[in-house]
């Protein structure tokens, strides 16, 4: 039995031709621009977004309305809205999917959000690999402009907005908002020290808000239906819906819009969502919020330490702290069955972070490389027991000691893998021949679900 | 590696020059350096890679020092600083693709093309570059060639794609 699910971002994505202005408009698109610009003040739009309780969907989960309210508004200084479409966190592909499927939803959100913040020039920064999506967005922007929804004096309201798409050049770090701003200024993506925060000194040293694609795309619905209606969906401080990027050994990987508070068990096993683990296999572990968040064994993901069903919400996923919990992060949900090797996957993620470290802070620049090397030797059967403690030590020395969160993001997957799968690491050291055989499967006392 | 050279000057074609001028209008007065990444993409689209002479031209075009272009081109992974084959296959090697059989498919691809990581095939048709996550994790294993994504890869599918590109 399927209950009626609230659809905020995906209610129109099945409609053929929805990527075109005409079809989007015929299906009620751009009504939020009409409502906001003709009947609301910018502050009223901000107020609705605050009431909605929507939290930043890029990974940090910071309340969006509060972030908006920090924006400095000095006289005579331009303000900017920059959309973060640099989606590069392993396991995450929802913004990619949303932008290519329904580009006008993001553009409509950019218009109402820019209006709310008083920005007259806004940018959508898209990772350079997604150049085909850049072209889709540019075409959609041209259509919206031709129809009078962008440019000078939009809908006769006196409000002007120019919207541009900026491609990146290939760098995970540019998903960090200050690195993104550096990149948008034509520089290397080195994160800036904070403070000053972008809300005070951001793009071109002017007040700037940086928001994720999914976050901005929700604002049209919030304008149309009100912040209270949005807050009525979800659970507790996890209001609304969330796009989940489901990947790995699931029967039906893909992008799903879930009401926050959905039980994890239901998300994985119900035919309405992922349909369970691929035939003949069992769930071993999950990285629930993108590669940066702690990996959890299946049983620990499905139930909290108190034995309650774990829910897809910010609070429930982090219940128990890092001892038994994880994080919602970007919603990059990577499911692994018993064929996945946790040591190998951790090494793979470490290589990723080493590759993507910008090199500014020594704990991250050096530490990510050390972790990659040590993990490589354990995975390939040359490790020692001391290496496991060495990894924990290096991870600890990176965490909290860098300008930006990439250091933490690199440390957490390693620390959590050892915390929960230490016996699998030890097996690689005590049984190297067995563990390095192609297709080797660890048959320790891990509890499969 | 970047070194100055006496090779012939590179300039945008008239059509790309128009696009470059349009890109400059996206930014406020005095902030034309913001166009650097888009212009480097434009250069690579034209030349197939990112030669030093082209970077020098972009520096001149934007009124900035050549070093400001070099330091950016070397930071980001998409700009090919060496000549490449006709098709650059950028293959995702990151976790979510890997656990879906990405390594086996990649090994087959390298064998089929006859090139290793970062190399170009003898016929100059393909360059293989392992890359990090392409944000297509639920559709993996995957690679991209220029602007096109190839997803749900299998050994059979790779054979079809490569055979088609060889025609």
* pLDDT tens-digit profile, chain B (167 residues): 555 556 788 999 999 999 999 999 999 999 999 999 999 999 999 999 999 999 999 999 999 999 999 999 999 999 999 999 999 999 999 999 999 999 999 999 999 999 999 999 999 999 999 999 999 999 999 999 999 999 999 999 999 999 999 99
Contact: A129, B139; criterion CB under 8 Å: no
Contact: B90, A129; criterion CB under 8 Å: yes
Contact B38, A167 (CB under 8 A): yes
Alpha-carbon Rg of chain A, whole angstroms?
22
How many Å apart are CA B41 and CA B48, to the nearest integer? 10
What does the pLDDT read at residue B3? 58
Q: Which of A309, A107, A104, A82 is closest to A209 using CA atoms?
A: A82
Domain annotation for chain B: domains and CATH numbers: 14-73 (1.10.10.1590), 87-166 (3.40.30.10)
Contact B58, B22 (CB under 8 A): no
What does the pLDDT read at residue A438? 87
Contact: B135, A246; criterion CB under 8 Å: no
Among chain B residues, the shortest Cα distance to A90 is held by: B133
3-state secondary structure of B120: strand
Cα A364 versus chain centre, distance: 21
How many Å apart are CA B162 and CA B164, to the nearest integer? 5
Q: Tell me the shortest Cα–Cα distance from B144 to chain A, in angstroms.
A: 8
How many Å apart are CA A219 and CA A216, to the nearest integer? 6
Chain A contact probe: residue of B40, B133, B143 with most A CBs at under 10 A: B133
Tell me the chain A residues in contact with residue B26 when contact means C-beta distances shorter than 8 Å. 123, 162, 164, 166
**CA trace torsion B134, B136, B137, B138 (10° rounding):** 180
Contact: A345, B35; criterion CB under 8 Å: no
Q: Which of A293, A290, A213, A299 is closest to A248 using CA atoms?
A: A290
Which one of A88, A128, A345 has the shortest CB-CB distance to B133?
A: A88
The 3-state secondary structure of A170-220 reads CCHHHHCHHHHHHHHCCCCCCCCCCCCCCCCCCHHHCCEEEEEHHHHHHHH
pLDDT means per 10 residues in chain A (449 residues)?
A: 81 98 98 98 98 96 97 97 98 98 98 98 98 98 98 98 98 98 98 97 98 98 98 97 98 98 98 96 97 97 97 98 97 97 98 97 97 98 97 97 96 98 97 92 76
Q: Tell me the shortest Cα–Cα distance from B75 to chain A, in angstroms.
A: 6
What pTM was computed for the model?
0.96
Contact: A129, B35; criterion CB under 8 Å: no
Contact A140, A102 (CB under 8 A): no
CA atoms within 13 A on the CB side of A266: 15
Please count the residue pairs, one from chain A and one from chain B, whose beta carbons lie less than 8 angstroms apart: 148
Which one of B37, B93, B139 has the shortest CB-CB distance to A167?
A: B37
Q: Which two tokens stand for residue A310?
A: 């774990």
Contact A8, A241 (CB under 8 A): yes
Which one of B35, B78, B90 has the shortest CB-CB distance to A186?
A: B35
How many Å apart are CA A368 and CA A348, to the nearest integer? 12
Domain annotation for chain A: domains and CATH numbers: 21-232 (3.40.50.11540), 237-337 (3.10.20.600), 342-435 (1.20.1440.230)
Contact: A169, B137; criterion CB under 8 Å: no
* Residue showing tokens 């197939």: B48
Tell me the chain A residues in contact with residue B78 when contact means C-beta distances shorter than 8 Å. 128-129, 169-170
Q: Tell me the shortest Cα–Cα distance from B124 to chain A, in angstroms.
A: 23
Among chain B residues, the shortest Cα distance to A136 is held by: B147
How many Å apart are CA A66 and CA A99, to the nearest integer? 25
How many Å apart are CA A212 and CA A56, to the nearest integer? 7
Residues in a beta bridge with A256: A244
Instruction: Provide residues of B within 8 Å CB-CB of chain A.
Output: 26, 28, 31, 33-38, 40-41, 62, 68, 71-73, 75-79, 90, 93-96, 98-100, 131-140, 144, 146-149
Q: Which of A265, A245, A419 is closest to A342 using CA atoms?
A: A419
Q: Tell me the shortest Cα–Cα distance from A206 to chain B, in angstroms.
A: 12
How many Å apart are CA A260 and CA A265, to the nearest integer? 13
């Amino acid at each position: 039995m399927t209950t009626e699910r609230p659809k905020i971002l995906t209610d129109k994505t099945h409609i053929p031709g929805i990527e075109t202005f005409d079809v989007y408009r015929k299906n009620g698109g751009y009504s939020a621009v009409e409502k906001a610009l003709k009947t609301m003040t910018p502050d009223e739009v901000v107020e609705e977004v605050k009431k909605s309780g929507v939290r930043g969907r890029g990974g940090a989960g910071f309340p969006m309305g509060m972030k908006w309210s920090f924006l400095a508004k000095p006289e005579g200084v331009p303000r900017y809205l920059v959309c973060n479409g640099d989606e590069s966190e392993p396991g995450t592909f929802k913004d990619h999917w949303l932008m290519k499927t329904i580009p006008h939803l993001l553009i409509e959100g950019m218009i109402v959000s820019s209006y709310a913040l008083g920005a007259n020039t806004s940018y959508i920064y898209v990772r350079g690999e997604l150049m085909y999506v850049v072209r889709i967005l540019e075409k959609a922007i041209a259509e919206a402009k031709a129809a009078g929804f962008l440019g000078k004096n939009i809908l006769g309201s006196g409000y002007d907005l120019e919207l541009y798409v900026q491609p990146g050049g290939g760098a995970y770090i540019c998903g960090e908002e200050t690195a993104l701003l550096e990149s948008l200024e034509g520089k290397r993506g080195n994160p800036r020290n904070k403070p000053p925060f972008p809300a005070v000194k951001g793009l071109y040293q002017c007040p700037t808000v940086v928001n994720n694609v999914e976050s901005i795309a929700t604002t049209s619905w919030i304008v149309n239906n009100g912040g209270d209606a949005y807050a009525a969906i979800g659970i507790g401080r996890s209001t609304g819906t969330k796009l989940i990027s489901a990947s790995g050994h699931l029967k039906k990987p893909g992008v799903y819009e879930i009401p926050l508070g959905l039980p994890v068990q239901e998300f994985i096993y119900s035919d309405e969502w992922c349909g369970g683990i691929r035939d003949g296999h069992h769930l071993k572990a999950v990285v629930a919020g993108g590669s940066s968040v702690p990996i959890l064994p299946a049983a620990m993901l499905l139930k909290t330490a108190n034995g309650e069903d774990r829910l897809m919400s910010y609070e429930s996923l982090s219940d128990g702290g890092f001892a038994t919990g994880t994080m919602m992060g970007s919603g990059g949900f990577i499911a692994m069955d018993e064929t996945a090797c946790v040591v190998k996957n951790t090494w793979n993620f470490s290589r990723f972070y080493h590759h993507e470290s910008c090199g500014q802070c020594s704990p991250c620049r050096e530490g990510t490389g050390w972790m990659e090397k040590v993990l490589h030797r354990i995975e390939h059967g040359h490790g020692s027991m001391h290496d496991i403690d060495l990894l924990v030590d290096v991870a600890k020395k990176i965490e909290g000691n860098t300008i930006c969160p990439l250091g933490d993001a690199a440390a957490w997957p390693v620390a959590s893998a050892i915390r929960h799968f230490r016996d699998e690491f030890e097996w690689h050291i005590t049984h190297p021949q067995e563990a390095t055989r192609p297709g080797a499967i660890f048959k320790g006392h891990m509890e499969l679900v | 590696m970047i070194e100055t050279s006496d090779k012939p000057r590179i300039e945008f074609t008239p059509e790309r020059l128009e696009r470059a001028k349009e890109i400059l209008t996206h930014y406020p007065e005095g902030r034309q350096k913001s166009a650097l990444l888009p212009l480097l993409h434009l250069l690579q689209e034209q030349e197939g890679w990112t030669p030093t002479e082209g970077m020098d031209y972009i520096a001149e075009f934007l009124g900035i020092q050549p070093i400001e272009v070099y330091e950016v081109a070397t930071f980001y992974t998409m700009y090919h600083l060496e000549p490449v084959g006709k098709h650059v296959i950028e293959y995702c090697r990151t976790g979510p693709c890997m656990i879906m059989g990405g390594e086996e498919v990649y090994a087959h691809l390298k064998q089929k093309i006859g090139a290793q990581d970062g190399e170009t095939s003898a016929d100059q048709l393909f360059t293989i570059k392992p890359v990090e996550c392409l944000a297509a994790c639920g559709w993996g294993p995957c690679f991209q060639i220029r602007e096109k994504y190839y997803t749900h890869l299998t050994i059979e599918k790779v054979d079809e794609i490569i055979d088609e590109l060889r025609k």
